[in-house]
């Protein structure tokens, strides 16, 4: 690697470098401690310094210095991790620089020329380099070390690196921590003790900051049941946040199969950088805080003061600018924030340059004054530019509607348009329970007072999207939102109003597009429609049911990844009560995609993560309960419905809507606070519980006792009991409970909750992955003979092999077409390439040229459903036979490999071509699957990704077939034909290659082949004799074994498929009548001669042998080639069995004529089995025990290395 020229004053400083080559202008040096003579004390010390210290001179073991004859100053211009790399640089200097330097007279000119040339080379490399870091020079050096030390595939992207200490017990190892896209790596070298660590991000279960007596601050990483502790970071918080981001990115991409289509920064894993991750995290935090659409990104930030008209003072904060919004958040503790859509800005004025002030004028006769704005002219220009670009078709309709509204800020905020007659434009509560303005009962009077309080708030703080949100707003929310304003405020605080404004007709288009669509999601929606608030009159009519159906179906169509999940119907039904239909849809979008991420999917990961956060908060705030209930998993199971339905399923509807009010304002924090308040309220009763059932009863009674005494809803709608006869039941008002929750636990910050979410997400996902592994292993273990620990290790290897196919590919087929609705067994599957690599690591026989071909046939054989993918069960069944099967089972497996569907016609025809033989190690073209499908090897079980209807009957039939499947008998196997038997023989020779008893095994196979040929010959002759005796008028009575060589009129109906006849050594049988002709089809030649021609190793004529003489012993008496006494070559080297020909046959000048294609011989499995059982050396070879643990350890060690070799 070329380096920016750096001055080196001492050529051999501290004797750390040894000169390898030198000339008048350049010196090539090797670092002591590397290469030859590196075992001394100096080598150990130098290696330790290289691992601990960070300087350019110690980056790589080789370097090139530039010097001039008249100067004592040297310049470091290149370094290399290997001798080959540095030799290439040296050679380039010799060929391109040396000749030019001779024309210069001045040493200064020579140095300037060399430096300019090297800088030019570095600049040229930088044009194609993907590295974009603050210090490219040091980063390139770190990248060189990373590639040299860890031998990962070239595509692995290094993100950043840090100097730190890794603790092995109580001993720290100073070294370097490397963070790449898919791995956490550490390297240390201290006095000859090398420490190398490679951990995949998707295997990490815990990532947290800790402190102890020895370590003030450290980062603890738990992966694979082991703990790793890193400390002594210069910027620990920055390092920890980046590690969290990389771990979360890997989990979302590889386990959740998220493709990041809207975030170009994370779309391609090969382009991930530290800066890109930081930008992504900053954008996510910005969108979450201001509840903005997912398309918004934080572009600019300005510090400024904002004039608060309701408080009459300036508050310090930051102005955040995105594509379509101008946002402000205070930093002085006033908890004031503001969102200004660019579409509502009319103009920007700069009234006072001395105070660097801006005035932003908005619709509705409102103006905001920002002062002390850094770079205020740039901000003003940015806002003016964005205001000029807002007249787009996307916003023009809404802007025109806003202008027509004038000062009607309610219409300004919502911007509702009815573009479809089928969409309901009224909230269901207004339809079924309109408020009576003349009703003056106490509850309605209190409702009017709430409305008046909010009207005063609107007058002081503004109304609509640009309303000031402060502590006063939260106080009003806690006291309760009036029924008439609930839908409007939900839209405002959730940010759904912005989604709807920027997508004016999106909902109507979705409704029309999803109309009549049929899928698994629509089936589930229809099933749950009448279970959604069944006691409410709105959902006892077709109006409410139809609106709920349209909202849920439109969302399933919009987001097929989620589709429809239970609890969405309950949430959507409540939203429809207080919001118009289109508003309810966008509220559902805000909840499912922003406020409750990963809640509504098959594994409800988001809810489980928040339950883990809830447990942490219980340990922190409710210590008495923690001490009494050591296992908090009970509370997790009880509280799951609290999080999934926002307490709607456990509280009466009139009380639950108050919880929803707080949720839309404060997010998940409000649910956590209310959960803590609920447990605190029932603390004494829970401490007296003796079992979980009693605790559940207490909580259920508590929720039944919660009422909303201020609810104006009629008794027909309210779900809480209205009777007062049960005096023992103490009533709890929901407003009091929420107020207590905010008073006791309101100090919980949203930032802390998000940090706890990130920390617990890894643990929750790994727990789910462990559960999946246990379920899969439990099912598969019943069908194989592996032990439990071996099954666990096999599953880890199988899963890692799946990930290896996704690590370095942005559009991996396994990621794009992953279907989370599949059963556990099919969550992780391998294609042909991944399966072949894993089988190469685990096969019980020594690898050879036959390996890839055998893996391809095995893949076809065990792919039961012919979808181009192999799951863990199919893989284990095959491996179990190879490892633990009996001789008969292994032979049957090999036998089936050479029959369809494992063996295709193309493989058979290639094996029989005489002119071009395909070596067994050569990879043939991709096989054609038995079912039509795409070329990437992945079946589309659900072509529309959630929209296509799943054939449940097919699944049930497949399960029934598996249950009723009986054990396959050897009598059920078809006979193996001529060409297939040729390939089986080649496979056997390939398996034996490299074995200590290779020659004995070769001879045994030759004897078995000869025996099978003689058996088939005898059977064929007996059959021909029987046919001749039953048909005496046959025009031809010649034995089929007679070689019709002298008949000039006899022709073959098709070109013969023979191997090279020059190598064939056959003694033709004695012919009785070589001149006999007939008009009937030509008779078949001797089957022994046919197999001789195909195998190029024909047995000696059985009739020429004396009784009891073995064909191999007869061949030993005949002259043989010198090759017979040497080690036989691999059969795959020529595609033939020449070695066996020379061992088993005698030379002959005669060759056998070709046989017609219509007459081929075949063998049954029983014949082959019986013949092989007569050879003890073969039986011993196949029944040799396999050290399974040794194979697994080798596979774990070499799995990543093999992938790196393949990619390189």
DSSP secondary structure, 726-763, as one string:
-TTS--EEHHHHHHHHHHHHTT--HHHHHHHHHHHHHH
**Coil, strand or helix at 330:** strand
Per-residue pLDDT tens over the stretch 141-179: 888 889 888 888 888 889 999 988 898 877 788 889 999
Q: Which helix (H) or strand (E) holds 376?
A: helix 376-389
pLDDT of residue 571: 94
Which of 607-621, 1040-1054, 1167-1181 is least confident? Answer: 1040-1054
Predicted local distance difference test score (pLDDT) of residue 286: 93
Backbone angles phi, psi at 348, to 5 degrees: -130, 130
pLDDT of residue 75: 85
pLDDT (tens digit per residue) in 490-542: 999 999 999 999 888 899 999 999 888 888 888 999 999 988 888 888 888 88
CA triple 409-660-332, angle to 5 deg? 65
Q: Give the span between the Cα atoms of 1173 and 902, in whole angstroms.
A: 25
| Residue 966, pLDDT above cutoff 60 | no
pLDDT digits (tens, 9 = 90+) for 43-61: 555 555 555 554 433 457 7
**Averaged pLDDT for residues 601-619:** 90
pLDDT tops 70 at residue 1043: no
Task: Give the pLDDT score at 233.
Answer: 83
pLDDT at position 415: 40
d(CA 219, CA 234): 13
* Residue owning tokens 């094996």: 911
Does the pLDDT value for residue 131 go beyond 60?
A: no
Instruction: Give me 927's structure tokens.
Output: 């096989």
Res 1137: pLDDT: 35
Residue 786 pLDDT: 94
Contact 359, 349 (CB under 8 A): yes
In the chain, pLDDT over 70 holds for what percent of residues? 72
438 confidence band (pLDDT: 50, 70, 90): low
- pLDDT value of residue 1081: 36
Between 125 and 778, residue with greater pLDDT: 778
Specify the DSSP element, H or E, that contains 65: strand 62-66
Residues 924-959 have pLDDT tens digits of 333 333 333 333 333 333 333 333 444 556 656 665
Mean pLDDT on 540-562: 91
Which token pair is 1058? 């023979």
Report the 10 Å Cβ neighbour count for 311: 14
Residues 89, 78 contacting (CB under 8 angstroms): yes
pLDDT confidence tier of residue 1030, bands split at 50, 70 and 90: low
More confident residue, 727 or 176: 176
In angstroms, the CA 533 to CA 931 distance is 46
Residue 812 has pLDDT above 60, yes or no: no
Higher local confidence (pLDDT), 73 or 707: 707
What's the chain's average pLDDT?
A: 76
pLDDT exceeds cutoff 90 at 487: yes
Contact by Cβ (8 Å): 26, 38? no
pLDDT of 333 above 70: no
The model's confidence at residue 1191, banded by pLDDT at 50, 70 and 90, is very high
Distance CA 387, CA 899 (A): 71
Which of 262-276, 649-663, 1055-1069, 1176-1190 comes out lowest in average pLDDT? 1055-1069
pTM of the model: 0.73
pLDDT of residue 883: 93
SS3 string, 496-551, reads: HHHHHHHCCCHHHHHHHHHCCCCCHHHHHHHHHHHHCCCCCHHHCCHHHHHHHHHH
How far apart, in whole angstroms, are the C-alpha atoms of residue 468 and residue 1091? 92
What is the mean predicted confidence (pLDDT) over 265-270? 78
**Better-predicted residue by pLDDT, 65 or 813:** 65
Q: Which has the closest alpha carbon to 655: 722, 713, 706? A: 706
Contact 233, 575 (CB under 8 A): no
Distance CA 853, CA 440 (A): 87
Residue 1101: its pLDDT value, please? 39
Q: For residues 902 and 892, is the Cβ–Cβ distance under 8 A? A: no
Model confidence at 1091: pLDDT above 50: no
pLDDT for 1123: 36
The tens digit of pLDDT for each residue in 1047-1065 reads: 333 333 333 333 333 333 3
pLDDT digits (tens, 9 = 90+) for 1075-1086: 333 333 333 333
Query: Alpha-carbon distance 530 to 519, whole Å?
Result: 19
Q: How far is CA 1046 from the centre of its chain?
A: 69
Q: Which of 841-850, 992-1001, 1112-1121 has the highest mean pLDDT?
A: 992-1001
pLDDT at 1131 (0 to 100): 36
Q: What is the DSSP letter of 10?
A: -
Among the listed residues 309, 338, 313, the one whose alpha carbon sits nearest the alpha carbon of residue 326: 338
Average pLDDT over residues 648-672: 93
Name residue 186's beta-bridge partners.
177, 197
Q: Is the pLDDT of residue 554 over 60?
A: yes
Share of the chain above pLDDT 90, in %: 30
Asked if residue 795 lies in contact with residue 828, where contact means CB atoms within 8 angstroms, the answer is no
pLDDT at 215: 65
Which pLDDT score is estimated for 349? 86
Residue 71 CB: number of other CB atoms within 10 A?
13
Does residue 130 carry a pLDDT above 80?
A: no
| Most confidently modeled range among 123-127, 584-588, 1097-1101, 1131-1135 | 584-588
> What's the average model confidence in pLDDT over 91-105?
81
Task: Give the per-residue pLDDT at 1140.
Answer: 38
Question: What is the DSSP code string of 278-325?
Answer: HHHHHHHHHHHHHT--TT----EEEEEEEEETTTTEEEEEEEEE-SSE
Cα–Cα distance measured from residue 920 to residue 658, given in angstroms and rounded to the nearest whole number: 72
Tell me which residue has tokens 């070709």: 1154
- Per-residue model confidence as pLDDT tens digits over 865-881: 788 888 899 999 999 99
> In this structure, are residues 801 and 1199 in contact, taking their beta carbons and an 8 Å threshold?
yes
Using pLDDT thresholds of 50, 70 and 90, give the confidence band for residue 1206. low
Tell me the C-alpha distance between 1044 and 507, whole Å.
83
């Amino acid at each position: 690697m070329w380096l920016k020229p750096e001055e080196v004053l001492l050529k051999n400083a501290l004797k750390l470098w040894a000169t390898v080559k030198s000339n008048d202008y350049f010196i090539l040096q090797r670092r002591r401690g590397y290469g030859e003579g590196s075992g001394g004390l100096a080598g150990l010390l130098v290696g330790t310094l290289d691992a601990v210290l960070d300087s350019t001179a110690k980056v790589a073991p080789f370097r090139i210095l530039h010097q001039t004859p008249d100067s004592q100053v040297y310049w470091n211009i290149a370094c290399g991790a290997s001798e080959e790399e540095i030799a290439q640089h040296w050679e380039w200097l010799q060929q391109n620089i040396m000749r030019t330097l001779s024309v210069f007279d001045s040493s200064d000119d020579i140095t300037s020329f060399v430096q300019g040339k090297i800088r030019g080379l570095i600049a040229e490399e930088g044009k194609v380099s993907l590295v974009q870091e603050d210090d490219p020079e040091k980063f390139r050096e770190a990248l060189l070390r990373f590639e040299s030390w860890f031998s990962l595939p070239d595509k692995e992207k290094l993100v950043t690196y840090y100097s730190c200490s890794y603790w092995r017990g109580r001993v720290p190892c100073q070294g370097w921590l490397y963070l790449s896209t898919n791995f956490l790596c550490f390297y240390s070298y201290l006095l000859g003790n090398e420490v190398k660590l490679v951990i995949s991000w998707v295997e990490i279960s815990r990532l947290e900051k800790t402190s102890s007596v020895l370590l003030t601050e450290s980062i603890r990483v738990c992966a694979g049941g082991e703990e790793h502790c890193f400390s002594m970071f210069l910027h620990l918080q920055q390092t920890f946040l980046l590690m969290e981001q990389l771990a979360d990115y890997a989990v979302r991409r590889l386990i959740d199969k998220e493709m990041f289509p809207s975030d170009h920064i994370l779309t391609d894993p090969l382009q991930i950088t530290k800066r890109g991750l930081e930008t992504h995290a900053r954008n996510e935090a910005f969108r979450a805080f201001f509840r903005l659409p997912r398309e918004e990104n934080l572009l600019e930030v300005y510090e400024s003061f904002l004039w608060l008209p309701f408080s009459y003072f300036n508050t310090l904060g930051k102005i955040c600018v995105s594509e379509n919004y101008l946002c402000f958040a205070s930093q002085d503790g006033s908890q004031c924030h503001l969102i200004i859509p660019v579409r509502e800005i009319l103009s920007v004025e700069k009234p006072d340059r001395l105070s660097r002030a801006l005035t932003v004028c908005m619709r509705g006769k409102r103006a905001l004054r920002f002062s002390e704005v850094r770079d205020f002219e740039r901000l003003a220009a940015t806002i003016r530019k964005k205001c000029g670009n807002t007249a787009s078709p996307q916003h023009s309709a809404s802007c025109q509607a806003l202008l027509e509204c004038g000062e009607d800020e309610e219409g300004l905020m919502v911007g509702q348009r009815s573009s479809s007659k089928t969409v309901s434009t009224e909230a269901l509560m207004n339809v079924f329970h309109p408020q009576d303005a003349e009703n003056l009962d106490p509850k309605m009077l209190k409702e009017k007072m709430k409305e008046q309080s909010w009207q005063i708030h609107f007058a002081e703080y503004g109304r609509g999207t640009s309303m000031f949100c402060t502590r006063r707003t939260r106080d009003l929310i806690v006291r309760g939102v009036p029924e008439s304003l609930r839908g409007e405020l939900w839209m405002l605080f959730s940010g759904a109003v912005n989604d709807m404004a920027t997508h004016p007709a999106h909902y109507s288009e979705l409704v029309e597009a999803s109309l009549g669509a049929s899928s698994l999601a629509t089936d589930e929606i229809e099933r749950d429609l009448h279970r959604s608030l069944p006691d409410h009159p709105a959902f006892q009519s077709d109006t409410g049911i139809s609106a709920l159906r349209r909202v849920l179906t439109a969302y399933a169509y919009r987001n097929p990844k989620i589709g429809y999940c239970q609890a969405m119907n309950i949430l959507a039904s409540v939203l429809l009560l207080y919001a118009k239909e289109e508003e309810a849809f966008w509220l559902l979008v805000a909840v499912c995609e922003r406020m409750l991420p990963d809640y509504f999917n098959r594994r409800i990961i988001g809810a489980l993560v928040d339950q883990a956060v809830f447990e942490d908060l219980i340990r922190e705030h409710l210590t008495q309960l923690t001490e009494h209930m050591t296992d908090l998993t009970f509370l997790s199971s009880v509280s799951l419905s609290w999080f999934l339905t926002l307490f709607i399923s456990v509280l009466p509807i009139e009380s639950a809507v108050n919880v929803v009010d707080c949720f839309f304002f404060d997010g998940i924090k409000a649910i956590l606070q209310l959960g803590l308040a609920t447990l605190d309220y029932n603390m004494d009763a829970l401490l007296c519980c003796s079992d979980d059932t009693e605790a559940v009863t207490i909580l259920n009674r508590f929720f039944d006792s919660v009422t909303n005494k201020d609810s104006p809803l009629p008794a027909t709608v309210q779900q809480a009991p209205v009777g007062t006869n049960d005096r023992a039941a103490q009533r709890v008002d929901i407003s009091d409970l929420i107020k207590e929750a905010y008073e006791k636990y309101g100090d919980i910050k949203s930032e802390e909750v998000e940090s706890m979410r990130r920390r617990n997400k890894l643990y929750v996902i790994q727990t789910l992955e462990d559960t999946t592994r246990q379920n899969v292993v439990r099912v598969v273990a019943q069908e194989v003979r592996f032990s439990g620990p071996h099954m666990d290790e096999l599953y880890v290897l199988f899963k890692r092999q799946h990930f290896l196919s996704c690590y370095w590919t942005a559009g991996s087929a396994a990621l794009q077409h992953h279907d989370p609705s599949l059963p556990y067994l099919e969550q992780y599957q391998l294609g042909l390439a991944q399966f072949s690599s894993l089988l190469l690591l685990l096969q019980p026989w020594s690898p050879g040229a036959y390996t890839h071909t055998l893996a391809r046939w095995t893949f076809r054989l065990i792919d039961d459903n012919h979808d181009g993918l192999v799951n863990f069960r199919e893989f284990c069944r095959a491996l179990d036979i190879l490892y633990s099967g009996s001789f008969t089972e292994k032979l049957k497996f090999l036998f089936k490999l050479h029959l369809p569907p494992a063996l295709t016609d193309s493989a058979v025809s290639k094996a029989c071509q005489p002119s071009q033989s395909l070596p067994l190690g050569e990879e043939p073209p991709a096989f054609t699957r038995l079912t039509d499908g795409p070329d990437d090897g992945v079946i589309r079980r659900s072509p529309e990704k959630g929209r296509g209807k799943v054939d449940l009957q097919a699944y049930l039939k497949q399960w029934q077939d598996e249950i009723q499947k009986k054990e396959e008998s050897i009598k059920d196997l078809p006979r193996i034909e001529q060409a297939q038997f040729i390939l089986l023989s080649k496979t056997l020779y390939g398996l034996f290659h490299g074995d200590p008893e290779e020659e004995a095994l070769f001879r045994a196979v030759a004897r078995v082949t000869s025996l099978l040929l003689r058996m088939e010959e005898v059977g064929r002759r007996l059959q021909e004799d029987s046919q001749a005796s039953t048909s005496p008028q046959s025009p031809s009575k010649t034995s089929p074994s007679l070689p019709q060589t002298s008949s000039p009129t006899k022709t073959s109906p098709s070109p013969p498929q023979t191997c090279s006849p020059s190598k064939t050594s056959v003694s033709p049988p004695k012919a009785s009548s070589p001149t006999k002709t007939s008009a009937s089809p030509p008779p078949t030649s001797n089957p022994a001669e046919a197999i001789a021609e195909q195998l190029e190793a024909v047995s000696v004529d059985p009739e020429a042998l004396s009784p009891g003489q073995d064909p191999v012993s007869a061949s030993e008496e005949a002259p043989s080639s010198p090759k017979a006494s040497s080690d036989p070559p691999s059969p795959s080297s020529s595609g033939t069995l020449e070695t066996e020909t020379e061992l088993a046959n005698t030379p002959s000048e005669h060759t056998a004529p070709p046989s017609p294609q219509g007459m081929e011989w075949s063998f049954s499995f029983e014949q082959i089995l019986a013949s092989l059982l007569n050879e003890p050396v073969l039986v011993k070879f196949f029944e040799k025990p396999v050290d399974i643990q040794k194979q697994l350890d080798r596979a774990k060690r070499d799995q990543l290395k093999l992938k790196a070799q393949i990619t390189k």
